[in-house]
A = this chain, B = another copy of it.
Amino acid sequence: MERDVSIRLGVVGCGSVFWTPYMNLIERLRGQGRVEVTAVYDADPEKRRAAAERLDLTPELPDDLAVCTHPDVDLVMVLTSMPEHARLARAALEAGKHVLVEKPVATSLEDAEAVLAAAEAAPGHLLCAPHILLSPSYRAMHARVLAGEVGGLLSARARYGWAGPDWGRWYYEPGGGALFDLGIYNVTSLCGFFGPARRVTAMTGIAIPERVVQGERIRVQADDNAHVLIDFGDARYAVVTTGFTMQKYRSPCIELYGTHGVLQMLGDDWAPEGYELWRNDKAAWEVYPEADPTWPWTDGLRHLVECLETGVEPVTRPEHAYHALEIMLAAQAAGADGRAREITSDFPAPDLARLGEVGGHHRVHDPRSAS
């Protein structure tokens, strides 16, 4: 795809999510002449300066909105702390920009609704993280589910957790917690396979009351441990297990139990290591190695750029992110009082088939040296 002009990126928020993960991908796209970064901003002057220096930009923007409305920016990447997501995404959309916003799109349903309404009214695309539906393993599994290879889905388990960060106090303060930091991945993945949820309940709480973060002992004030039950209708259920309470695992990250078989993803849904398929009529586990072991969880940026280049809509839809947010908030509420919550929002089925078929890779010999 030859292009005369590359897409101009504006970045708001230059923390750890920007530095290495997104930066790696930006560099690769820049090397291909597909993007350039024209504006950056971070509330922290030091981070602001570091990013500007790295990108050969002037750091002298007055505030975050200056990126969102910058005349030399086509696509705004909202990578700030969670509470700012909705405001910035909305501002950028209203300024006519395309927007990639990190998860969650908002921290309340009202704010999320406002962002989606802005996207509806504006010319730009809105792409909400996580981008996990784009991974080759997810897409291959999704195609198999759609094709009925394991029959109708009846039950599922998903898990994503770890020991928890020993940096960043905000993870353990109100507004942080494992559910929004980790659980949202599995929730997004499962809804992509099952369709919209109908009901949610959960157990959530603080299992490790004190931690050492950045060398200091702190009191944990946000839930670090959670199990979420999701009802997808017709007595089809799934559970998401998450927490800063899991030192390690050695189990599939997603297990989908269908009427005629089982599909499970290895690794994590944001870093898949292939998948496994059981079909009763084959009576064998088929183990599919990861088609792209270097697939980055920032891949939504590449997807959005490609959509802009080719003039099509992104396959991941803002309604999916809204729905996941409703589930997360319902899980928090149910975790507080032990009562299941109905889920009312909906989202269109993701059209992953449009991305093409996921290939095998038996001749790739040295993936670590891939350019």
Contact = CB atoms under 8 A, between A and B. Distances in A.
Interface of A: 19-21, 24, 150, 154-155, 157, 159, 161-163, 165-166, 199, 201-208, 223, 225-227, 229, 231, 234-239, 241, 243, 245-252, 255, 257-262, 264, 271, 276-278, 280, 282-289, 294-297, 338-340, 359-363, 365-366, 368-371
Closest 8 CB pairs of A and B: A283-B360, A205-B235, A338-B340, A285-B287, A154-B245, A21-B369, A207-B235, A154-B207
A204 B250 CA distance: 27
Given A166-B363, A338-B340, A155 B229 contact: no
Given A163-B363, A259-B208, A227 B264 contact: no
A284 B360 CA distance: 8
12 contacts: A20-B371, A157-B239, A203-B231, A206-B235, A207-B236, A223-B235, A249-B262, A250-B264, A251-B252, A277-B284, A278-B362, A283-B361
A235 B225 contact: yes
Nearest to A238: B227
A247 B368 contact: no
B203 A237 contact: yes
B368 A294 contact: yes
A47 to B, nearest CB: 16
Contacts of A260: 247
Contacts of A261: 247-248
Given A286-B284, A365-B162, A257 B247 contact: yes
B285 A286 contact: yes
A262 B282 CA distance: 18
A51 to B, nearest CB: 14
A273 to B, nearest CB: 11
A171 to B, nearest CB: 12
B199 A338 contact: yes
Contacts of A236: 207, 225
Contacts of A294: 368
A296 B166 contact: no
A277 to B, nearest CB: 8
Nearest to A159: B157
B262 A247 contact: yes
